[in-house]
Amino acid sequence: MTVTQDLDIWTLILNASAVVKFVMILLLAVSFMSWMFIFQKWFTIRRAREQTEQFEREFWSGNDLNALYQGAVNQRHTIGSLERIFEAGFREFAKLRGQRAADASGIVDGSRRAMRATFQREMDLLERHLAFLASTGSVSPYVGLFGTVWGIMHAFRSLANVQQATLAQVAPGIAEALIATAIGLFAAIPAVVAYNRYSHDIDRLAIRFESFMEEFSNILHRQAVK
């Protein structure tokens, strides 16, 4: 076999040591899961943004709050995060307002707490799998580096009984070890980019949700004092 054939990437992978092969397989599996979560999160955030914009248009167009609430209740399994926050707040508002002993501040505080609890649940759903992307981006290069170090050690150890080592003898072992680092970077870079982008998008959605809760609380307070 020639040196060129020895440096073919598939040959290098097949000839790698068991530890390096395990590292490569692990990194490829992590990369596959990372890409799966990247596409899944992209669709989730895009849908959440579209649903938020649609509900904001309906809410600020002057529609009756009771009608909006009934629509949210009837379509509970298909509505977006912001509409669920609205539903939780208005449900608590209607329940507390029916209690004559409750004052306006208590009614609004109860509605705000209900919206805050729903807000936390919705944010947990939006942030799901982000921790995996962060871990992939930070850990994968080191896992690949471990495979590379182990492979280089294995390559040099195999030359212990060789009286005269040449570059042609060392190059395949070092090359197969470096593939582990390449795969680690291949897994890490998209995960880091996606994590930073999605974190920014989710933070912007959270700001919109919190702004809506404050504005909606003011509307509820005005209705409570009537």
Q: pLDDT exceeding 90 applies to what percent of the chain?
A: 54
- Rounded to an integer, the average pLDDT of 160-173 is 64
Q: Are 52 and 80 in contact (CB under 8 A)?
A: yes
| pLDDT value of residue 41 | 95
C-alpha distances out from residue 90 to 29, 127, 207, Å: 45, 25, 20
Q: Give the whole-angstrom CA distance, residue 60 versus residue 82.
A: 13
167-208 confidence digits (pLDDT tens):
666 666 677 778 888 899 999 999 999 999 999 999 999 999
How much is the pTM? 0.83
Closest CA to 182 of 71, 31, 36: 31
106-116 confidence digits (pLDDT tens):
889 999 999 99
**Residue appearing with tokens 């680690």:** 184
Mean pLDDT is lowest, of 21-30, 127-136, 145-154, for: 145-154
Closest CA to 106 of 226, 222, 223, 221: 221
Residue 164 has pLDDT above 80, yes or no: no
- Average pLDDT along the chain: 86
**Residue appearing with tokens 């919206």:** 115
4-45 confidence digits (pLDDT tens):
445 566 776 676 778 888 888 999 999 999 999 999 999 999
